[in-house]
């Protein structure tokens, strides 16, 4: 007689063989254990396979829910904007002309041959006492820009401008390293920073400097304008994206006493605040965002002035734009990784911590969106296994929450500038903006992962061409964005989405069609623009 016998669920011991159990118990019990584990695992796998449509739908819903939370946060930003819109900051007092503090203007450059001349002309025209103004041309260039800068600096020196040309022996730390290097050669109380493509108005410094009469103010940021907004529909969309940040978001954060960031240019820093916060650091590729948060965590206050506009050049090439967006997303992820835990532990109000979290993790939305796109095909297949009402429960709330939050966020910025575009202009620009955002999801997801998991800190500059009018061309210019393998992945995603769209059409999932069409259109636009403009 067998000491064990097989039943329909496991193994059982034959009572007549209890002595055999004591002699061979270990082996038999282990055999029973293995069989039991195999049975449970097999049953779980079978159960999951049988219920895969429901699991896909649940996962899809969870991702949508997280995206909806970020979308609701945009409503919060708009609400705060209108609540505090009339509370514009004012200087504690005004400096007299004789009491104006010394300012060093830092101009970090790297291969900017098309814009450096107009930049230096604009800086030379600034209305500020010459004896209290020092200009540092921090040129890390490796091309003809060096000679152009030296020639222009010598010309301005002959006109009695206090300007010096500084060329480092290496590019260690990139822009952060250049700014830090310049700080070692100045004793000014304040430092103004302008990137190569920015053109400050003559009264820009005088409009910002008086806020430093408050000794707790560590930084003052002006709003970016756009020299080439009307160059093309693509630059118009970029301007709309940036206006959402500079008009709505920055104003909302500042006036509701939340942390906000220095944007790397068009602003003034108190040198003591930079030093107290730990100085310029190149552990991230967005040294401006990093320093902003470290300074505010140290108790320094910052001021945002949306009424002071410093115009700059928007990228006209899709690949340059993608490179810029990649750097910003990667840098924000690096800063989140570096500072979020410190922010959560800081003795600051809870709502400030929440806003900092949404700010620094905002680009994580691209990862969520990419997951949503990858799930779109199995989602369409799984819809064939559920009732038709399920699609309505998913897509209608998605449309109402995400679309309305985005439109309100960007439309507010347009109307607050008294631009008042026509309904068609605003609608077409908004649809293209959403399409571009979708088309960037793969590029930006890679940037977020790069910032979170890779140690590389290389700073990739955005090419500037000095083109501001539609009758000018940039395609013959020397500088172009670096080529990458990302477009091949985007092409694969486009094919995948087209297949998904076909599946939705065959199965008559009509509520999905507007979203899938937008997904396909976004990837097609980004991919086609990048391919068409590539040499």
- Catalytic residue, chosen from 139, 195, 197, 288, is 288
121 is catalytic: no
Question: Which residues 6+ apart lie within 8 Å of 256 measured at CB?
Answer: 80, 83, 84, 355
**How many helices and strands in the chain, by DSSP H and E?**
19, 9
Task: Name the β-bridge partners of 105.
Answer: 135, 192
The DSSP 8-state label assigned to residue 248 in this structure reads I
Task: Name the β-bridge partners of 193.
Answer: 106, 267
Question: Which residues 6+ apart lie within 8 Å of 83 measured at CB?
Answer: 256
Backbone angles phi, psi at 303, to 5 degrees: -125, 135
288 is catalytic: yes
Map tokens 């949306």 to a residue.
306
Of 195, 171, 191, 200, the residue nearest 112 (C-alpha):
195
- Catalytic residue, chosen from 140, 197, 243, 290, is 140
Using DSSP bridges, classify how beta strands 4-6 and 11-13 pair: parallel, antiparallel or unpaired. antiparallel
b/e for 68-91, b at 16 or more Cβ within 10 A?
A: bebbebbebbbebbeebeeeeeeb
Backbone angles phi, psi at 228, to 5 degrees: -125, 35
Q: Which residues are catalytic?
A: 140, 288
């Amino acid at each position: 007689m067998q000491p064990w016998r097989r039943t329909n669920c496991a193994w059982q011991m034959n009572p007549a063989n209890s002595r055999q159990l004591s002699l061979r118990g270990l082996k038999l019990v282990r055999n029973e254990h293995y069989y039991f584990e195999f049975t449970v695992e097999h049953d779980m796998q079978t159960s999951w396979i049988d219920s895969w449509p429901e699991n896909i739908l649940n996962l899809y819903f969870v991702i949508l829910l997280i995206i909806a939370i970020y979308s609701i946060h945009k409503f919060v930003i708009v609400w705060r904007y209108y609540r505090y819109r009339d509370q514009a900051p004012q200087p504690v007092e005004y400096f007299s002309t004789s009491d104006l503090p010394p300012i060093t203007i830092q101009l970090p450059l790297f291969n900017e041959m098309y814009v450096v001349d107009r930049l230096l002309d604009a800086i030379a025209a600034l209305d500020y006492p010459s004896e209290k103004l020092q200009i540092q041309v921090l040129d890390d260039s490796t091309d003809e820009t060096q000679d152009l800068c030296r020639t222009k600096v010598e010309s301005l020196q002959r006109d009695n401008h206090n300007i010096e040309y500084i060329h480092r022996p290496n590019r260690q730390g990139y822009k952060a390293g250049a700014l830090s290097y310049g700080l070692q050669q100045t004793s000014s109380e304040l430092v103004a920073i302008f990137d190569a493509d920015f053109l400050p108005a003559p009264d820009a410094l005088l409009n910002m400097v008086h806020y430093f009469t408050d000794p707790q103010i560590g930084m003052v940021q002006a709003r970016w304008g756009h020299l080439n907004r009307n160059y093309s529909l693509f630059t118009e969309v970029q301007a709309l994206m940036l206006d959402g940040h500079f008009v709505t978001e920055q104003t909302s954060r500042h006036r509701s006493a939340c942390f906000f960031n220095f944007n790397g240019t068009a602003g003034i820093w108190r040198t003591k605040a930079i030093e107290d916060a730990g100085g310029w650091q190149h552990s991230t590729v967005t040294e401006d965002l990093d320093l902003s948060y470290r300074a505010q965590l140290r108790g320094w206050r910052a001021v945002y002035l949306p009424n002071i506009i410093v115009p700059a050049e928007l990228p006209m090439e899709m690949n340059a734009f993608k490179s810029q967006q990649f750097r910003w997303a990667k840098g924000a992820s690096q800063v989140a990784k570096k500072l979020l835990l410190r922010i959560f532990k800081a003795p600051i109000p809870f709502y400030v911590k929440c806003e900092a979290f949404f700010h620094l993790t905002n680009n994580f939305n691209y990862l969520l969106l990419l997951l949503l796109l990858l799930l779109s095909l199995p989602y369409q297949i799984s819809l064939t296994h559920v009732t038709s009402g399920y699609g309505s429960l998913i897509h209608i709330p998605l449309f109402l929450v995400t679309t309305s939050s985005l439109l309100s966020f960007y439309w507010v910025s347009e109307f607050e500038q008294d631009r008042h575009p026509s309904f068609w202009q605003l609608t077409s620009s908004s649809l293209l903006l959403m399409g571009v955002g979708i088309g960037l999801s793969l590029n930006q997801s890679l940037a977020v992962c790069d910032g979170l998991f890779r140690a590389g800190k290389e700073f990739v500059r955005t090419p500037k061409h000095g083109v501001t009018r539609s009758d000018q061309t940039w395609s013959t210019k020397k500088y172009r964005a670096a080529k990458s393998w990302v477009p091949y992945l985007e092409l694969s995603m486009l094919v995948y989405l087209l297949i998904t769209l076909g599946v939705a059409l065959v199965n008559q999932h009509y509520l999905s069609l507007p979203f899938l069409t937008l997904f396909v259109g976004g990837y097609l636009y980004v991919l086609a623009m990048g391919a068409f403009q590539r040499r």
